[in-house]
Amino acid sequence: MKHNPYAALPATVENIIVETSNITTFTFRPEEPIPFKAGQFVELSIPGFGEAPFTPSSSPAVNDVMDITIMRVGAVTERIHALSKGDTVGIRGPLGQPYPLDKFKGKEILIVGGGVGLAPLRALFFALAEEMDHYKKIILRYGARSPGDIVYRNDVATAWGKPKVDLMLSVDKGDEGWKGNIGVVTTILEKNKLSINIQNSVAVVCGPPIMMKFATIKLLERGYAPENIYLSMEKNMSCGIGKCGHCRIGPYYACKDGPVFTYDRIKDEPRIWD
Ligand SMILES: Cc1cc2nc3c(=O)[nH]c(=O)nc-3n(C[C@H](O)[C@H](O)[C@H](O)COP(=O)(O)OP(=O)(O)OC[C@H]3O[C@@H](n4cnc5c(N)ncnc54)[C@H](O)[C@@H]3O)c2cc1C
Ligand code: FES
């Protein structure tokens, strides 16, 4: 029988980690493993209520459980945040195209995240870290509103501090305990905060549209070619499989052709940062 792309697999909430006041990471155990690659997303449904797209934030090497880090912004995410351990949701996917990791080999990978935008980049980070020998260096630059808004505190302090990983955080507004950089994330992309061989580098960006826009402008200023800047275009979606047209970016469907696009493919399309 043909697989129904709208059918969701039941998945149980196995763990809940509160990251910040409005961001929580849920670990789901689907009835069957859901293999995915970094960059792909899933549609998560609350039975009888609605569904929304999210990118797994756990390692693609782990298939039996899947972490999804979710910011509470509206109706569906509100319902997801009210879930308890043992509750059941639906997951369909994986959907969309993964990061082309083959093209990243031998390069310095600059990962730029803002707010909950670090979630998909965490899955990418794990995928890169699995085969660290293939990459020259991983440089992670992450911006959050305040120290209390930083996600994945444990990872940032431990697993992400590997050799060959250059990590710098910034907050828009510090507090008395904050010793790091203060300023929007582009301030840690400046020459004095980011030493990188741009000619042998790709940059991967995910965050709120305004942050993606200014990070892209800064990367272009620093000398990145548009085809070496990878952007996660989190457009409003419905079907997730290229049928409904909700997620159009010019000739592309973000759900089917993306959600990750290099800047050269979409730069001339109107309202890409909306
Ligand atoms: C491919 C993809 C991956 C995503 N991954 C994540 C993730 O890992 N974690 C996460 O927290 N969120 C992620 N999002 C965003 C998430 O899908 C939306 O926050 C969610 O759909 C909001 O649903 P809601 O019913 O709670 O809010 P709504 O009531 O629908 O909307 C509340 C607010 O959120 C905005 N919004 C709604 N849908 C989207 C959307 N798809 N993208 C951006 N803004 C939206 C609305 O404009 C409105 O301002 C992703 C989106 C896409 C397209
Ligand atoms: S969400 Fe339906 S075409 Fe992309």
Yes or no: say if 166 and 109 are a contact pair by the CB < 8 Å rule. Answer: no
Residues 57 and 107 placed together within one structural domain of the fold: no
Residues 6 or more apart in contact with residue 158 via CB below 8 angstroms: none
Whether the CB of 246 sits within 6 Å of ligand 2 = yes
> Which residue's C-alpha comes closest to atom 3 of ligand 2?
242
Of the three residues 60, 94, 128, the one that is the final residue of a domain is: 94
Q: Which ligand is nearest to the CA of 25?
A: 1
Whether the CB of 143 sits within 6 Å of ligand 2 = no
Which atom of ligand 1 lies at the shortest distance from residue 70's CA? Answer: 11
Q: What pLDDT sits at residue 153?
A: 83
Residues 161 and 143 placed together within one structural domain of the fold: yes
Whether the CB of 80 sits within 6 Å of ligand 2 = no
Q: How many domains does one find in the chain? A: 2
pLDDT tens by residue, the chain, 274 residues: 557 888 999 999 999 999 999 999 999 999 999 999 999 999 999 989 999 999 999 999 999 999 999 999 999 999 999 999 999 999 999 999 999 999 999 999 999 999 999 999 999 999 999 999 999 999 999 999 999 999 998 776 666 667 788 999 999 999 999 999 999 999 999 999 999 999 999 999 999 999 999 999 999 999 999 999 999 998 889 999 999 999 999 999 999 999 999 999 999 998 899 8
Q: What pLDDT sits at residue 147?
A: 94
CA atoms within 13 A on the CB side of 30: 24
Q: Following CA atoms 54, 122, 40, 29 in sequence, which dihedral angle do they give, to the nearest 10 degrees?
A: -60
> Which residue's C-alpha comes closest to atom 6 of ligand 1?
54
24 vs 220: CA distance, rounded Å: 33
> Which residue's C-alpha comes closest to atom 29 of ligand 1?
74
Residue 62's domain comprises: 9-94
Q: What pLDDT sits at residue 157?
A: 63
11 vs 44: CA distance, rounded Å: 10
Q: Is residue 205 part of a domain?
A: yes
Ordered DSSP codes for 182-242: ES-GGGGGSTTT----GGGEEEEEES-HHHHHHHHHHHHHTT--GGGEEEE-----SSSSS
141 vs 154: CA distance, rounded Å: 16
Q: What pLDDT sits at residue 42?
A: 97
Residue 125's CB is within 10 A of a number of other CB atoms, namely 26
Q: What pLDDT sits at residue 159?
A: 61
Characterise 33 by phi-psi region: left (phi > 0), alpha (psi -120 to 50), beta (else): beta
What's the token pair of residue 177?
């305990």
8 vs 5: CA distance, rounded Å: 8
Nearest to 67 by CA among 132, 17, 20, 111: 17
What pTM does this model have? 0.94
Of the three residues 70, 94, 118, the one that is the final residue of a domain is: 94
Q: What pLDDT sits at residue 29?
A: 98
Residues 153 and 224 placed together within one structural domain of the fold: yes
Q: Is residue 253 part of a domain?
A: no
